[in-house]
């Protein structure tokens, strides 16, 4: 079967059964930076099972002009496939073109899939325009308390990266009547004050604080 127009051996190798072959192929495609390969790279991101190969696919996409990649990546954010959304977000964070900012919707920031939400938080922090940090923090703070350790740590780091603008949203969540939300908010605030404090320590400390009871309770 012949190759399609613009398809190279490297592009075909992206579908190899060998992860190492796919990794080399992604590197070759990125090095060549042929704009005709952009769609293939994006399509492969949605189905590639190996993290290190996906990262190389993202690198390959960053080798192309953002004017070419960003509109196509933004389209993928509406995909029904969680991995497609997550990897498109990750790639947009690496491209760093703030023209993609309007596509980072509240729906993505609150996506039911934890991997997508984590990617959305990290990408939003990179792309948020000056003056938009407080609004972003408010949207992200609605997710405090969700998920497991990895998801909670990712959200804490994203909120901390927003700096002082995230303070009001985090402090408001510290008064939440939901113990899990309150714990996460307290831990995040603690980490923001002392960057050397690890997530595990901050969470354990927050658990002890919450165990005392809701704010204002007399013991």
CATH of 11-127 given 1.25.10.10, 1.20.120.10, 3.20.20.80, 3.20.20.70? 1.25.10.10
pLDDT at 213: 63
Domain map (residue ranges) of the chain: 11-127, 134-213
DSSP state, residue 16: -
Q: b/e string for 39-71 if b means 16 or more Cβ within 10 A? A: ebbbebbbebeeeebbbbbbbbbebbebeebbe
pLDDT at 7: 64
pLDDT at 5: 47
Q: b/e string for 128-160 if b means 16 or more Cβ within 10 A? A: beeeebbebbbbbbebbbbbeeebbbbbbbbbb
Residues with pLDDT less than 50, the chain: 1-6, 216-219
What DSSP string runs through 173-188? Answer: HTT-SSHHHHHHHHHH
Spatial contact of 112 and 146, defined as CB atoms under 8 Å apart:
no
The CA–CA distances, whole Å, from 101 to 59, 79, 122, 132 equal 20, 17, 12, 10
DSSP state, residue 49: -
Task: List the alpha helices (DSSP H) in 4-148.
Answer: 9-13, 19-32, 38-45, 51-62, 66-76, 82-95, 106-109, 114-127, 133-141
């Amino acid at each position: 079967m012949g190759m399609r127009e613009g398809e190279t051996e490297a592009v075909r190798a992206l579908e190899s059964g060998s992860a190492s072959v796919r990794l080399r192929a992604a590197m070759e495609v990125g090095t060549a930076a042929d704009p005709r390969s952009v769609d293939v790279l994006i399509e492969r991101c949605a189905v590639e099972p190996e993290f290190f190969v996906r990262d190389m696919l993202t690198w390959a996409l960053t080798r192309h002009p953002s004017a070419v990649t960003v509109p196509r990546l933004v389209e993928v954010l509406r995909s029904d496939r969680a991995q497609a959304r997550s990897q498109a977000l990750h790639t947009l964070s690496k491209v760093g073109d703030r023209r993609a900012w309007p596509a980072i919707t509240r729906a993505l920031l609150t996506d039911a899939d934890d991997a997508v939400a984590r990617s959305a938080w990290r990408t939003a922090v990179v792309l948020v325009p000056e003056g938009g940090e407080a609004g972003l923090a408010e949207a992200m703070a609605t997710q405090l308390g969700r998920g497991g350790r990895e998801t909670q740590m990712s959200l804490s780091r994203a909120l901390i990266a927003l700096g002082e603008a995230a303070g009001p949203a985090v402090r408001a969540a510290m008064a939440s009547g939901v113990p899990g939300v309150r714990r996460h908010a307290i831990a995040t605030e603690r980490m923001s004050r002392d960057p050397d404090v690890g997530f595990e320590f901050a969470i354990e400390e927050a658990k002890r604080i919450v165990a005392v009871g809701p704010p204002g309770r007399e013991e």
